[in-house]
Each structure stands twice: as C-alpha cells, then as structure tokens.
C-alpha cells in the first residue's frame, strides 16, 4: 500500500502542502493547468529556496486582491468550472466545506451564511485546489500525519488580533493530537488544517513505511529556531496483518448465596441484564455446614464493575463480591436481518478464519412464532437455513 506521511514539525499551510507535493515529484505544470482552468486571475510560481540551510520548494500563488467575500456556493461554482477530475474536485470541495463548518461553529451561525475571509481569497482558493490536485497525483492510498504544532502568541486576522490557534483552526483540529511549539506565530493555518483533516486517516509520529520520495514544502517566513518546512514522506507500507483472533478483556463478578429465595435471585439476574451485563448465570453449589447454595456470576465490561457490584449488594444482601479479569476470544460479529417465510427475523452473524455461524435472536423469533402461530423451532430452523 502506498502511503504519504505529513511530518508537520513546523506546522502546515496550503502553500507548504503545494510546495511539498511538487518537491516530491508532482509536475508543477499539471497543477498550473488545473489552476488555469478555473478562469481566475491567478498564477503559480515555483522556486527552490533554503530554510535554515535545508533545500525546499516554495510555491507562491500570485493573485489580485479582492474585497468581495465569497460564500460556499460561490467557491463550489468556481470548482465546477475547472478542468478537474471528480476525485480532485470532490477533495477540494470537502476541504472548503470543512472550513465552512468550522467557521459556522466558531461564529455560531448557519452554514449558508458563512462567508470566507482569508480562505475565500484567490490565493487560498489556488492553494486548496492545487493541493487537491497534487495530493491526487501522488497516487497514494493512505495519508498519515505527525502531531500538529499550532504555534503560539497571537495573529492578526479579519476579526482582529486573535490567539493562536484561531477559533476556526482550533475547531478544524478537534480530535487531532497537537504538539507544543515555542515559535511565536501561527504555524498551522485554517487552510493547512482543513487539508490535513480532509485526507489524513491516522496520526502517528513514526509511520511504518519504506520511503521512496521526500518532498519539502517551504513556508514564507524564515525562523531562527527551526526550518520552516513541511516534510512529506512518500513510500510503501505492508498491509496490516489480519489478527489471528479478536479478543477483549472482561470483568467476572461472583458471589455465593445461601440465605436468599430463588425469586430474589431471579429478580437480581433481571436487574443485572437490564444494566447491560454481558452474561449472568447461577450454578448450584454445596456450601459450608452442608447448606445448598447458588454461585451467582456476572460477566461485564470492566469500566462498569462498580455499577454491577452495587446491584449485587443491594438485591442479594451478600457480604462480599469477588472480582477477576478474563481475556475473551470472540468471533467478529454483526447484527443481520434474515428473510423467512414469515418475514424478516433479527439474528446475529459471527465469523472467524473461514468459520461462520448465524444465531437467531430469541425475542424476535418468539414474536414471529406468536404472530403466525408456528412452532418456535420452525422459526429457528428457517433463520439458520
């Protein structure tokens, strides 16, 4: 599987992505042709630069200043006119929509009323469309990224001076691991954050891949502390091996009961299932002084142990509950609906290494048996067939 990894040690912006994909081997003329097809007064300049002594590619979009704001439909109309593949147009549209949703959330307004400021400018449109085209032409199947530094301090934007990250960028980076930075400026822009979150499926500091190409995209500023670069690693990674089995860890709660009526045990079992127990069962045991008793066992999610212990203490009057952990091997599973002569019936499908089983859901089978006055065993047989 071909993988591209964003090493965002100095953040990420639209022009840095554009420079990185060109430096990694995507023809600049192919990106220029796509931008020219938009019919906008923009041009792309590509040059080799150095940042803290390291060579990189600087992509600069030259465009006339425009004072008019653009709304999402305006941008989508521009994309529709371009000579782009459906994949490229779809990625560019997804990036702009991410920005629109983030701005709508940050400003507390409906999506259709959001107008783009910096991201709606011609140079930002070119950065996003160029990045979408370039990332597509890389020909990779998966994108990963390192944790993202946003920078620090403040930045001047259309709404005045704001702390870094700005509200829109912070909204875009929800769920993304951030990295600390001492640089007093905006390292990750809204455009960069939107591009990153539109394509990246995994955030990891150390990708497992065999590197084939490396691209360095330069930012505009030249820092003293570190090179202002976005590094793009392109290579191949072996597909993750299929796990031999699916396992999880469960908690097992047990208590011995010898001074409680069967009805109370039955009610306790009902309450435990209602609370979400994975399984509950009672086993006859012979206890001290030759008294017959019951071993009541509960299998549950470890995070809910306290809730199930409370039910056991309250409903059974026991003085103690034993708890242990167990590793459980499981079939992969999914809920399915099986067609029968009496209509659909709910069931559970499980499989593992070529083995497959379908188990009818008891309650739904009972419903069908009663509604159609047929034996329950016939419903079970129809589902399994």
In angstroms, the CA 235 to CA 209 distance is 6
Percent of the chain with pLDDT over 70: 94
In angstroms, the CA 231 to CA 195 distance is 15
Q: 145 near 172, Cβ under 8 Å? A: no
- pLDDT for residue 114 is more than 60: yes
Q: Cα Rg for the chain, rounded, in angstroms?
A: 30
pLDDT computed for residue 68 by the predictor: 66
- pLDDT for residue 332 is more than 90: no
3-class state of residue 334 by DSSP? strand
- 360-to-64, 140, 142, 343, 376 alpha-carbon distances in Å: 66, 42, 38, 14, 11
Q: What is the pTM of this model?
A: 0.62
Q: What's the pLDDT band for 289 if we cut at 50, 70, 90?
A: confident
Domain boundaries, the chain: 2-236, 246-330, 332-384
The CATH architecture assigned to 246-330 reads 2-Layer Sandwich (3.30)
pLDDT computed for residue 245 by the predictor: 62
Q: Which residues pair with 234 in a beta bridge?
A: 4, 213
- pLDDT for residue 320 is more than 70: yes
Mean pLDDT of the region 336-362: 88
pLDDT computed for residue 243 by the predictor: 53
In angstroms, the CA 64 to CA 382 distance is 70
Output the average pLDDT for the chain: 90
Tokens of 295: 């071993």
Q: Which has the closest alpha carbon to 193: 16, 2, 34? A: 16
- pLDDT for residue 375 is more than 80: yes
Q: 15 near 126, Cβ under 8 Å? A: no
Lowest-confidence pick of 47-61, 62-76, 166-180: 62-76
In angstroms, the CA 207 to CA 193 distance is 20
Tokens of 361: 């859901």
pLDDT computed for residue 158 by the predictor: 67
């Amino acid at each position: 599987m071909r993988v591209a990894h964003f090493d965002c040690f100095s953040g990420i912006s639209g022009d840095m992505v554009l420079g990185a994909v060109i430096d990694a081997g995507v023809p600049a003329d192919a990106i220029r042709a796509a931008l020219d097809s938009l019919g906008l007064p923009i041009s792309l300049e590509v040059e080799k630069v150095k940042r803290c002594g390291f060579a990189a590619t600087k992509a600069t979009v030259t465009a006339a200043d425009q004072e008019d704001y653009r709304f999402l439909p305006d941008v989508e109309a521009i994309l529709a006119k371009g000579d782009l593949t459906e994949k490229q147009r779809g990625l560019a549209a997804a990036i702009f929509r991410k920005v629109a949703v983030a701005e709508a959330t940050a400003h507390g307004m409906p999506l259709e009323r959001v107008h783009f400021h910096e991201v709606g400018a011609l140079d930002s449109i070119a950065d996003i469309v160029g990045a979408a085209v370039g990332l597509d032409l890389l020909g990779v199947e998966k994108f990963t990224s390192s944790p993202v530094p946003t920078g620090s301090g403040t930045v001047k934007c259309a709404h005045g001076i704001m702390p870094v990250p700005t509200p829109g960028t912070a909204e875009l980076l929800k769920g993304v691991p951030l990295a600390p930075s001492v640089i007093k400026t905006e390292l990750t822009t809204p455009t960069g954050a939107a591009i990153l979150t539109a394509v990246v499926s995994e955030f990891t500091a150390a990708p497992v891949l065999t590197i084939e190409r490396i691209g360095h995209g330069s930012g505009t500023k030249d820092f003293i502390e570190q090179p202002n670069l976005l590094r793009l690693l392109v290579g191949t990674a072996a597909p993750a091996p299929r796990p031999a089995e699916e396992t999880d860890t469960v908690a097992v709660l047990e208590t011995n009961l010898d001074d409680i009526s069967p009805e109370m045990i039955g009610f306790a079992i009902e309450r435990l299932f209602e609370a979400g127990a994975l399984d509950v069962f009672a086993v006859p045991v012979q206890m001290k002084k030759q008294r017959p008793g019951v071993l009541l066992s509960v299998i549950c999610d470890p995070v809910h142990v306290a809730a199930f212990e409370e039910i056991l203490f309250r409903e059974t009057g026991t003085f103690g509950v034993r708890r242990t952990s167990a590793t459980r091997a499981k079939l992969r599973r999914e809920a399915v609906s099986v067609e029968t002569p009496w209509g659909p019936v709910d069931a559970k499908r499980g499989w593992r290494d070529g083995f497959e089983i379908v188990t009818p859901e008891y309650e739904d089978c009972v419903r069908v048996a009663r509604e159609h006055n047929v034996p329950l065993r016939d419903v079970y047989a129809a589902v399994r067939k």
